[in-house]
Amino acid sequence: MGRKKSPSNKPLDSGDSEESPQETLVEYNGKNLKIAILDDDQMFLKIIQKTTKPLNVDFDLFDDPKMFLRSNDSTNYDAAVIDLHLSNGHNGLDVALSLYNIPIIIISSTVQSQLSQKKWPFTVRGFVHKDQGIVEILNQTIKLAATN
């Protein structure tokens, strides 16, 4: 997969979403935001792609941490979402250590109480459990990016 673009100027096929109808994305009409999402779960990235709406927000989706870091310039993103547990021995916190100027939301299906946040990089501004849903992850990330 590598990198997928979710252009903000076109509606994406909403398809079947795992989100409930009551959940809606935050309304955002400020400056054009650019958000990176790194997760090795192909289904999760497909749901993200289907869920995003044209909110004046560009999402770059990555499934490979090496490709993400190679293409990443910290001035290019207003925020990033990084999965804590990546394949092939990669760890989302190791990726976060390489990013100095991007506020990061860590996501995981691991219970938060099992995670020690004491050693997290200073750029990590929050944690969202994947069970909270795609919309909650996107809403927290857009709010973080908008205040950056």
Task: Kindly give the residue spans of alpha helices, DSSP state H, lying in the chain.
Answer: 42-51, 65-71, 92-97, 134-147
Q: What is the pLDDT of residue 75?
A: 59
Q: Tell me the sheet residues that pair with 51.
A: none
Amino acid identity at 107: I
Q: How far is CA 33 from the centre of its chain?
A: 13
| Residue 107, pLDDT above cutoff 80 | yes
For residue 55, count other CB atoms closer than 10 A to its CB: 18
| pTM score | 0.78
Q: What does the pLDDT look like over 25-72, one tens digit per residue?
A: 666 666 788 999 999 999 999 888 888 765 668 889 999 998 888 875
For residue 73, count other CB atoms closer than 10 A to its CB: 8
Query: pLDDT band at 20, cuts 50/70/90?
Result: very low
